[in-house]
């Protein structure tokens, strides 16, 4: 019997912030947020991977296991500051494929 | 009506702020919001603010948060304000106020500041289960504390929501936002409820949708001119018959 591959989910999030954003700082804030909320061991088990972030449009994409989606959403919701200013993270869409998220973003563009 | 509701967002100071708040609430997926004032009377520009929100297709209700120090003060405030506000929340800072608020049918939401959530114990739950009060867990209470206080809040909030659900007391999750950075998407609030407070997934979603809608509709009906008593409504007036 083969093992069942865990299902993956891509999370599209948007950041509303007072200050200008840089990908490196956003990534660091997100990962330290996970670590603060769940601890190193549990945060490691969530299987989170950084896919990318567009500072101009303030969209970012994370990859995690399907079981971890709720925890990742919660951890993002508890982030309140970035680059020394106020910030708000909101998960906009969760999808099984990167392609559908990209299509969603293309449709949202004016 | 259906959709997501945030039952606690601070009343905007100006029409420009109201415009931006309404835009962000709509963008996050809310259909209704309770704009909250602390202890005071009705804001002067209420109608203009409501108009701004309705332009963005967000229903705005008015809410007051009472923070009395004695149960006598609470009763006075309730008598004075119940007919003016669609939602009344009571910040329970001591046992006397918490007990009175839990058994009073005019109270919609029970709030406990960080460090006071232990007041929501079995006796409180027993009283609240006989009235219509719901337990409110604002995200701002969690975000305002850090370190050991935050850990205690996690534990206390999980215990309180477990107790509430056991006795069918509704739990409401709100942002408690004071500005647009304090707002959160409804499903994100539900995710905090599920992942941090340990609410079951259905209950977490209901706490930002069905439960607050029910409270809002119930109170709107009570405030309408046709309301006589619970279960009795005026159908026709003299002359219509």
For the stretch B17-52, pLDDT in tens is 999 999 999 999 999 999 999 977 788 899 999 999
pLDDT of residue B239 exceeding 70, the answer is no
- Residues A70, B185: C-beta atoms closer than 8 Å: no
For the stretch B87-105, pLDDT in tens is 999 999 999 999 999 999 9
Q: Chain A residues with CB inside 8 Å of B145's CB?
A: none
Give the model's confidence band at B221: pLDDT under 50 very low, under 70 low, under 90 confident, else very high.
confident
CA separation for the pair B154, B114 (Å, rounded): 10
Q: Chain B residues with CB inside 8 Å of A16's CB?
A: 24, 180-181
Q: Which of A18, A74, A86 sits opposite B196 (nearest CB)?
A: A74
DSSP track, chain A:
-PPPPPPEEEEEEEEEESS---HHHHHHHHHHHHHHHHHHHHHHHTT-EEEEEETTTTEEEEEEEGGGHHHHHHHHHT--EETTEEEEEEEEEEES-HHHHHHHHHHH--
Of B192, B106, B57, the closest CA to residue A71 belongs to: B192
**Which sequence spans correspond to the domains of chain A?**
8-108
Q: Please state which of the ranges A42-51, A74-83, B16-25, B112-121 shows the lowest mean pLDDT.
A: A42-51
Q: What is the ipTM of this complex?
A: 0.92
Report all structural domains of chain B as residue ranges with CATH numbers, in order of start: 4-233 (3.20.20.140)
- Residues A73, B188: C-beta atoms closer than 8 Å: yes
CA separation for the pair B9, B182 (Å, rounded): 9
Q: Which CATH class is domain A8-108?
A: alpha beta
| pLDDT reported for residue A110 | 54
Higher-pLDDT residue of B44 and B212 is B212
The helix or strand, by DSSP H or E, that contains position B25, with its residue range, turns out to be helix B15-28
CA separation for the pair A109, B72 (Å, rounded): 56
Supply the pTM of this predicted model. 0.92
- Residues A73, B187: C-beta atoms closer than 8 Å: yes
| pLDDT reported for residue B36 | 95
| pLDDT reported for residue B225 | 77
Give the model's confidence band at A32: pLDDT under 50 very low, under 70 low, under 90 confident, else very high.
very high
Assign 3-state DSSP to chain B and report helix, strand, coil percentages, each to 5.
Answer: 45, 20, 35
Of B162, B172, B169, the closest CA to residue B204 belongs to: B172
Q: Are B221 and B132 in contact (CB under 8 A)?
A: no
């Amino acid at each position: 019997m083969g093992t069942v591959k865990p299902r993956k989910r891509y999370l599209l999030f948007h950041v509303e912030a007072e200050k200008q954003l840089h990908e490196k700082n956003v990534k660091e804030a997100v990962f330290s947020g996970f670590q603060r909320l769940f601890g190193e061991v549990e945060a490691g088990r969530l299987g989170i991977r950084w896919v990318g972030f567009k500072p101009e449009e303030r969209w970012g994409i994370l990859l995690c296991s399907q079981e971890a989606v709720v925890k990742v959403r919660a951890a993002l919701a508890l982030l309140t500051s970035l680059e020394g200013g106020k910030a708000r993270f909101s998960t906009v869409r969760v999808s099984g494929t990167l392609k559908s998220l990209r299509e969603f973003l293309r449709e949202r563009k004016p | 009506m259906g959709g997501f509701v945030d039952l606690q967002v601070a009343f905007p100071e100006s029409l420009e702020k109201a415009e931006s708040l309404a835009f962000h609430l709509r963008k996050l997926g809310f259909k209704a919001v309770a704009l909250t004032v602390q202890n005071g009377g009705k804001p002067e520009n209420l109608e203009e603010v409501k108009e701004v929100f309705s332009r963005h297709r967000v229903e705005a209700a008015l809410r007051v948060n009472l923070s009395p120090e004695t149960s006598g003060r609470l009763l006075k405030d309730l008598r004075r304000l119940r007919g003016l506000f669609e939602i009344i929340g009571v910040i329970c800072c001591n046992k006397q106020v918490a007990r009175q608020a839990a058994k009073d049918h005019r109270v919609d939401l029970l709030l406990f500041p960080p460090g006071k959530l232990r007041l929501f114990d079995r006796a409180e739950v027993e009283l609240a289960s006989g009235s219509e009060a719901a337990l409110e867990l604002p995200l701002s209470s969690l975000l305002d504390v850090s370190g050991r206080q935050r850990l205690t809040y996690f534990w206390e909030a999980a215990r309180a929501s477990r107790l509430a659900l056991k006795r069918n007391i509704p739990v409401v999750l709100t942002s408690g936002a004071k500005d647009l950075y304090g707002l959160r998407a409804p499903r994100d609030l539900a995710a905090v409820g599920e992942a941090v407070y340990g609410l079951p997934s259905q209950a977490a979603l209901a706490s930002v949708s069905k439960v607050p809608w029910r409270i809002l509709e119930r109170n709107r009906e009570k405030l309408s001119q046709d309301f006589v008593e619970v279960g009795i409504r005026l159908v026709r007036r003299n002359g219509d018959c």
